[in-house]
Amino acid sequence: MTGRNGQHRTAARSRRRGGRRAAATALTLLLLPATGCAAPAKAPRADSPRTDSPRATATATAGIGRTLDRRATALADRDEHAYLAVLDPESHALRASARAEFENLAEVPAGSWEYRLTSVERTGDRATASAELRYRITGYDSAPVTASRAMRLTEHDGHWYLTADEPGADGAQQLWQQGPVRAVRGERSLVLGVGQDERRLRRIAATADLAVPAVDDAWPGRWSRRVVLLVPGSPADMAALLGEPADNYRSIAAVTTGETGRTGASPADRVIVNPEAYGGLGDFGQRVVLTHETTHVATRTATSAATPLWLSEGFADLVAYRGTGRGAGRIAPELQRAVRGGEAPETLPSDADFAFAGDADLLARAYESGWLACEMIAERWGERKLTDFYRAVGAHGHRKGAVAAAAHDVLATTEDALTERWRAFVRQRLG
């Protein structure tokens, strides 16, 4: 975000709920096995006397699964007629939006597309269904990314047809629902934009291509070394991709979504760029923002619910500013103002201090405090010890005791001593 006196801050933290949404997919599509749609039927609720029997619901589940398989196959074959054929002919609004979405997906390269049913409730010739849309971008996602969908269907002559297809619980809008998606490939990046000219998308790709090797140099270990960026048309469209109020993100340059703490194959995260806030930054600020966000992509599998935001965001800022030659006062102006005003912090920031909808100065100080904590660890124990500490915290499994255990095992110190050393470091660097 942009702080006082034109000082540019990255303030672009990764949203860290489990089961993240990502907003991008599709050009060359390869259908996964059709059996993914046939999930066990959900038992009828006791308070829904009109819901059909388990056997009838199981029959509907199989039929709805076949409908969704046909839809996925049609998208894979780029067959618009077949894609629309699974929609109820009377659902004119749905047919219009589906036709637009089909056309909007033309440039988005995905390696797979499928639906997996999670529940079905049938009442006569109508049904409601919850499903996961699962897709994978070729060359970027090592496993499918999921998006929850809530659907309504009707039965005609033994076949089920869609009458509504909306985001599910905690769901969000998808990029292709906002307009035609333009795809630009960099050497290490894929930028998907709506309402953006190609020159702007290419500049973003070029900056992301610089961020990837910078992160790779700072973070040892395996990661995709590629990044997918989404550039919607406005801050409001950005918020819609996140399923959040627009006011929370107007001054935020970028946000990374993804699943924390995964093991094995992990899908590539999505860096969602706020076109206005990011566009207001100079070249240096833009590079800092995308390096910060790419760090979240690289560290995703080492980040868990045990990882405090001061560590994940502080490390991302440390990597973003690494080697830039910027002094502490330029990187942490809000914290320096507090220190020189006699309000030096006593404790490391809590997760609540990183709330986007909260006080902007408090948010800036939270990021700056996390950066200085990571800077202090790297300076005192070395960069490799810092990354070992990061991994150890994330591997703890629970927030309580994670920092204390990692401080003991990796840094041979205590959490209290670590905090005291950080307080002294803040006063020394910013006083």
Where along the chain do its domains lie?
1-23+175-297, 34-171, 304-431
Write down the CATH number for the domain with range 1-23+175-297: 3.30.2010.30
What CATH class is the domain 34-171?
alpha beta
Alpha helices in 300-346 (DSSP H): 309-321, 328-331, 333-340
Question: Which tokens hold the place of 396?
Answer: 């703890």
Which DSSP helix (H) or strand (E) runs through 114? strand 110-123
Output the CA–CA distances (angstroms, integers) from residue 55 to 41, 51, 61, 121, 154, in the order listed.
9, 11, 10, 11, 18
Chain-wide mean pLDDT for the chain? 86
Query: pLDDT tens digits for 76-134?
Result: 888 999 999 999 999 999 999 999 999 999 999 887 889 999 999 999 999 999 999 99
The yes-or-no verdict on residue 263 having pLDDT over 80 is: no
Q: What average pLDDT score do residues 388-414 get?
A: 97
**pLDDT one-digit tens code per residue, 305-341:** 999 999 999 999 999 999 999 999 999 999 999 999 9
With bands split at pLDDT 50, 70 and 90, how would you rate the model's confidence at 264?
very low
Spatial distance between the Cα atoms of 108 and 270, rounded to a whole number of angstroms = 14
* Helix 360-381 and helix 333-340, axial crossing angle in degrees, nearest 10: 90
Distance (Å, whole) CA 36 – CA 26: 19
Question: What pLDDT does 200 receive?
Answer: 97
Using left for φ > 0, alpha for ψ between -120 and 50, and beta otherwise, residue 412 falls in left
pLDDT tops 50 at residue 10: no
pLDDT higher than threshold 80 for residue 143: no
Q: Which of 156-170, 200-214, 336-350 has the lowest mean pLDDT?
A: 156-170
Report which DSSP code applies to 354.
G
Question: Is 259 within 8 Å of 266 (Cβ atoms)?
Answer: yes
Does residue 130 contact residue 119 with C-beta atoms inside 8 Å?
A: yes
β 227-231/189-194 pair status? parallel
**pLDDT for residue 30:** 25
Q: Fill in the DSSP letter of residue 322.
A: T
Question: What average pLDDT does the segment 204-223 reach?
Answer: 96
> Regarding beta strands 145-156 and 126-137, do their DSSP bridges make them parallel or antiparallel, or are they unpaired?
antiparallel
Strand partners, 127: 122, 153
Rounded distance between C-alpha atoms, residue 250 and residue 272, angstroms: 13
Taking alpha carbons only, the member of 53, 190, 171 closest to residue 109 is 190
User: Residue 218 and residue 212: Cα distance in Å, rounded?
Assistant: 10
**CA geometry: angle at 142 spanning 137 and 145, to 5°?**
60
- Rounded Cα distance, 34 and 13, in Å: 37
Rounded to whole angstroms, how far apart are CA atoms 270 and 419? 33
AA identity, residue 205: A
CA–CA dist 362, 368 (Å, integer): 10
Which residue from 153, 252, 246, 238 is spatially nearest to 196, judged by alpha carbons?
A: 238
Q: Please tell me the distance from the alpha carbon of residue 409 to that of residue 232, in angstroms, as a whole number.
A: 44
Please give the Cα distance from 390 to 256 (Å, whole number). Answer: 18
Q: Which residues are paired to 209 by β-bridges?
A: none
Q: Counting every residue, how long is the chain?
A: 431
Question: Of 326, 300, 324, 330, which is closest to residue 312 (Cα–Cα)?
Answer: 300
Distance CA 163, CA 86 (A): 9
Q: Does 19 score more than 60 pLDDT?
A: no
